[in-house]
Structures are given as structure tokens and as C-alpha cells.
């Protein structure tokens, strides 16, 4: 979506210079009011006092990574980004926005992975505003920001700081809802884990940075319309849903046991092979095929058993 944001090019003055002019004007009004006590002079002085108070509304102050969206009776006049103390047209509506990075820790939500298993997945992301026009006018952020004031939460005593906080909270709520949608979309494309030994595909558990990059891309696509940018997105919680967690735990335990057994058998076969080769090479004892088979069986039982084998001492000979 093409941006319509532009820099504010209207009249602006250094705030300290305008403050000096203001003080001189105030002094002039006081002198003018005391020296001339005629009716016309009092009316003129009253009008000048009114103008003096109107001019007070033109002062603005901006810190680094802050911006003011300038609106003149409903018309967008640009975004003011200069840092410092300034004076502008007093009838401009100067909506303050923060361009600083903000964290959002999304609570784990329940989704179905690629093969239908219910899982719990959560993420943490860093986001910030990059387009003030879209943020203010492409989504209904101003109505969302005003909702707490309509519910009686100190509507008559709302400060400018609270208005800015409400507006940024409205943006954060928009980011949260879109992050939930993006998280469901990405999680539904991959399985939680790869339980097939001969299949190597990307999963949520093993995807790592690749999954995080896809999540960040999906989030930026969704938030571009609102003028927001995701700096970093990362899955910080991943687990099976409680209803299948016990079953999946047993499945993982069974898979681990099978893998361990394979290693044990592989090692036992190597040891038996080495024992037979040593007996043959060093001519310690001559074994026929039947004796070799019995020895292999006994060694495999000893090496692969879960419990320690009980030795049986043979006092006879190998020929009987």
C-alpha cells in the first residue's frame, strides 16, 4: 500500500523566540491597560488578551523518536518530526505519537498443527510505528483510543500523556490481534515435531530461525496497512495441549526407548563380533558353529538385558 505520509512544511518558529515575544506582548497589555482607561482601549486590550491565550496553544515539544501528526480542521498537513521546542499555528491539531520500539509478549494460544495435533504456542515480538499517516487514518485507532474515556474512566481529567498512552495501547491491541492471526497461520503449516526417522522436514520444534523469519514476514504483511513494522518476532513457548500432552509424552518416551535399544543392540553385536574374532585369532578355544551360536545368544542376553545377568559357572568341559 502506497504511503501518503509527508513532512510538515507549514510555518514554525523556535519556541524560545516565540516565548520572548509572548512575554513582551503580555507586558505591553499590562501597560496598555493601566495607562488608557477608555472604553475602546479596554475592549482592544480584552481582544489582545484573548489572542494571547490562543497563541499559547501553538507550543509543541518533541523528544527523539517522537512525532506530531498535524491536522488543520480535518485536513492532514504533514508529520512533524524535528526534535526540540517549537511554535506552530495554534489551530493545528497536533496528535502526538511515539516512534520508539515496543515489546509485546503474546500469551500462548491453542492451535492445530499441520497434522491436526492441538498445541500451545506463544511469541514475543518487537514492533514500532514507521508510517504515521497509515497508523492514524488507515485504521480506526482514534476511536479505539477514545473508548476508555467513554466508559467514565476520568473523562474530564484526561491529560495529554494519557491520550498518547491510550492511542499507543490501541495500536498495541491491533498488533496483538494480528499477531494471533499470523501465529495461527504459520503454526498450521508445520507439524509440531518430526516423529518419522526417514522423513526430514521443517517442524515448529526444529525450525528455529526459519520459522521465526516466516512469522516475522507474515506479521509485516498484516501490519503494513497500519503503518507498523515488526523488528523481531520469535516463538517463546511451544508445547502440546494438555489433553494430549500425556499421550505425546509416552510416545516420545517410547521413541527414546527404541532409539536407545537400537544403540544397545548395535554395540552388543560389535562386542560379540570382537569377542569371537579375539578367541579365533589368539586360539584360546576352538568353537564349532553350535557353540558359537550358544555363545552369541548368551552374550546378547547379557549385554542387552535391562538387569544385571546372574552368572552360571560351568565346571565341565566345552565338549560335553
* 126 and 208 share one domain: yes
* Domain closes at, from 49, 67, 96: 96
* 53 and 115 share one domain: no
* Phi, psi values for residue 26, rounded to 5°: -65, -40
* Each residue's pLDDT tens digit, 7-39: 999 899 999 999 888 888 777 776 666 666 566
> What's the CATH code of the domain at 110?
3.30.479.30
* 232 and 263 share one domain: no
- The confidence score (pLDDT) of residue 124 equals 92
Cell of 145: 483510543
Task: Tell me whether residue 39 is in a domain.
Answer: yes
* Each residue's pLDDT tens digit, 114-124: 888 888 899 99
* Each residue's pLDDT tens digit, 206-231: 777 888 898 999 999 999 988 999 99
| Displacement of CA 219 from its chain's centroid (Å) | 9
pTM above 0.85, yes or no: no
- Give yes or no for residue 86 having a pLDDT over 90: yes
What residue numbers bound the domain in which 151 lies? 102-240
CA-CA distance, 27 to 23, in Å (whole number)?
A: 6
The position carrying cell 521413541 is: 255
Task: Tell me whether residue 1 is in a domain.
Answer: no
- The confidence score (pLDDT) of residue 79 equals 94
215 CB contacts (<8 Å, ≥6 apart)?
123, 182, 183, 186, 233, 234, 235
HSE-CB at 157 with a 13 A cutoff on CA atoms is 3
SS (H, E, C) 54-68: HHHHHEEEECCCEEE
CA-CA distance, 217 to 223, in Å (whole number)?
A: 10
Amino acid at each position: 500500500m502506497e504511503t501518503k505520509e509527508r513532512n510538515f512544511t507549514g510555518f514554525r518558529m523556535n519556541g524560545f523566540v516565540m516565548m520572548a515575544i509572548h512575554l513582551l506582548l503580555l507586558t505591553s497589555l499590562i501597560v496598555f491597560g493601566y495607562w488608557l482607561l477608555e472604553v475602546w482601549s479596554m475592549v482592544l486590550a480584552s481582544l489582545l488578551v484573548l489572542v494571547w491565550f490562543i497563541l499559547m496553544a501553538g507550543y509543541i515539544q518533541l523528544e527523539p523518536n517522537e512525532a506530531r501528526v498535524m491536522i488543520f480542521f480535518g485536513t492532514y498537513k504533514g508529520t512533524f518530526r524535528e526534535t526540540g521546542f517549537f511554535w506552530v499555528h495554534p489551530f493545528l491539531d497536533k496528535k502526538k505519537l511515539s516512534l520508539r520500539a515496543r515489546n509485546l509478549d503474546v500469551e500462548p494460544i491453542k492451535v492445530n498443527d499441520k497434522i491436526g495435533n492441538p498445541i500451545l504456542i506463544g511469541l514475543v515480538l518487537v514492533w514500532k510505528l514507521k508510517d504515521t499517516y497509515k497508523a492514524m487514518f488507515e485504521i480506526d485507532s482514534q476511536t479505539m483510543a477514545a473508548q476508555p474515556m467513554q466508559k467514565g474512566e476520568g473523562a474530564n481529567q484526561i491529560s495529554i500523556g494519557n491520550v498518547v498512552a491510550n492511542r499507543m495501547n490501541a495500536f498495541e491491541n491491533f498488533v496483538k490481534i494480528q499477531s494471533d492471526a499470523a501465529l495461527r497461520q504459520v503454526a498450521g503449516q508445520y507439524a509440531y515435531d518430526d516423529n518419522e526417522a526417514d522423513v526430514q522436514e521443517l517442524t515448529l520444534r526444529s525450525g528455529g530461525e526459519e520459522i521465526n523469519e516466516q512469522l516475522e514476514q507474515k506479521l509485516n504483511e498484516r501490519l503494513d496497512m497500519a503503518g507498523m513494522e515488526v523488528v523481531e518476532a520469535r516463538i517463546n513457548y511451544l508445547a502440546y495441549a494438555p489433553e494430549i500432552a500425556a499421550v505425546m509424552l509416552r510416545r516420545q518416551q517410547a521413541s527414546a526407548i527404541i532409539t536407545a535399544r537400537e544403540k544397545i543392540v548395535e554395540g552388543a553385536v560389535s562386542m560379540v563380533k570382537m569377542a569371537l574374532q579375539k578367541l579365533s585369532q589368539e586360539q584360546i578355544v576352538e568353537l564349532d558353529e553350535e557353540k558359537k551360536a550358544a555363545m552369541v545368544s548368551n552374550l546378547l542376553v547379557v549385554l542387552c538385558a535391562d538387569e544385571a545377568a546372574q552368572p552360571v559357572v560351568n565346571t565341565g568341559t566345552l565338549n560335553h
